[in-house]
Amino acid sequence: MIILLSCCLSKGYSQQSGNDYKRLIDSAIGLKVKNIIEFSRNAEQKKSLLSNIYLIDENELPYSYTSTNYGVELNTINIKSQESKKILKKGITAWKIFPELKSNKLVITIILFRISYKNKLVHYSKGPGTQVIFEYSCEEKKWIQTEFKNSRD
């Protein structure tokens, strides 16, 4: 009975942790979108900057952004799939998401890439990135955003 109870509790906590993880990554993407919207000169510039962005995770698999904040829908693509080759031949702009847990901090790095497919190879051109850091507060029992910074390299 005790073993069963402990398994149920641990599963419940791990599920919450997984939801927090996805929510924090979505929040970091939302902050990046918000930053682009704030610095766009007009609606046309905002539309051109965000309408053709694809999201991929650190394993080059599609990342599904579940937030509808700011009225922006970001695309997903599986870089490794055969169906994507036609899209990649034209070239795409993608945000590659790298989450890293360091002690009580979750560091989410989002790097802009230009990705294309030519001569049976996928080519990447790295652009600037954004880093969002969340820190877990034991007193408040929640994650708190502590840092947001853009890089130009």
93 to 1, 30, 54: CA distances (angstroms): 53, 17, 6
How far apart (Å, rounded) are the C-alpha atoms in residues 125 and 137? 37
N- to C-terminal Cα distance for the chain? 56
Q: Where are the domains of the chain?
A: 2-150
pLDDT of 135 > 90? The answer is: yes
What per-residue confidence (pLDDT) applies to 15? 38
75 to 23, 25, 50, 54: CA distances (angstroms): 18, 16, 9, 4
Confidence band, pLDDT 50/70/90 cuts, at residue 94? very high
State the average pLDDT for the chain. Answer: 84
What per-residue confidence (pLDDT) applies to 24? 95
For the chain, percent of residues with pLDDT exceeding 70: 84
What per-residue confidence (pLDDT) applies to 36? 86
Question: Regarding predicted confidence, which is higher, 122 or 9?
Answer: 122
Structure token digits, residue 91: 């070239």
What per-residue confidence (pLDDT) applies to 153? 60
| Tens of pLDDT, residues 3-44 | 333 333 333 333 355 588 999 999 999 999 998 888 877 767
Average pLDDT (49-57) is 88
Q: Under a CB-based contact definition with an 8 Å cutoff, are residues 144 and 118 in contact?
A: no
How far apart (Å, rounded) are the C-alpha atoms in residues 136 and 121? 41
How many residues in total does the chain contain? 153
pLDDT of 2 > 50? The answer is: no
Identify the weakest region by mean pLDDT among 50-54, 94-98, 135-139. 50-54
